[in-house]
């Protein structure tokens, strides 16, 4: 029994939303993120909710939180630790801790 014209259109529409092959991106991939500024600092004070007050080498003080991968892997951060921070280009007083040096 041949398919009706409406069911053919529905099949074409469903195939248009097929998965993208690995390593390829969809067309119109969205906005680009601005590059984050990476700096080193020393943890000064732990705060609530995985937030920390951090002193940078240039004398500035930053409020930073732990990145998701560090939280997932239970990386502990204590005062005095040297850390790598990504600062937002929009607000240089806030950042994300991405690495704890040994």
Higher-pLDDT residue of 3 and 68 is 68
User: CA 96, CA 65: separation in Å to the nearest integer?
Assistant: 5
Domain ranges of the chain: 37-100
Q: How many residues does the chain have?
A: 102
Whether 28 has a pLDDT exceeding 90, the answer reads no
Q: pLDDT category, 34, cuts 50, 70, 90?
A: confident
CATH superfamily of 37-100: Nucleic acid-binding proteins (2.40.50.140)
In this predicted structure, what is the pLDDT of residue 96?
A: 96
Predicted local confidence at residue 27, as pLDDT: 63
**Are the beta carbons of 60 and 91 closer than 8 angstroms?**
no
What are the Cα distances from residue 84, in Å, to 16, 20, 41, 75, 95?
A: 43, 34, 6, 13, 10
Of 78 and 34, more confident: 78
> pLDDT for 7-25, tens place per residue?
666 655 555 555 656 666 6
Condensed to tens digits (0 to 9), the pLDDT of residues 45-77 reads 999 999 999 999 999 999 999 999 999 999 999
């Amino acid at each position: 029994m041949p398919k009706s014209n409406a069911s053919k259109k529905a099949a074409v529409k469903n195939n248009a939303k097929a998965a993208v092959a690995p390593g390829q991106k969809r067309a119109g991939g969205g906005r680009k993120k601005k590059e984050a500024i990476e700096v080193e600092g020393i943890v000064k004070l732990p705060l609530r909710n995985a937030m920390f007050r951090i002193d940078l080498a240039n004398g500035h003080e930053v409020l930073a939180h732990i990145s998701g991968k560090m939280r997932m892997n239970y990386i502990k951060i204590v005062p005095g630790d040297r850390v790598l921070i990504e600062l937002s280009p929009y607000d240089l007083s806030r950042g994300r801790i991405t690495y704890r040096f040994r």
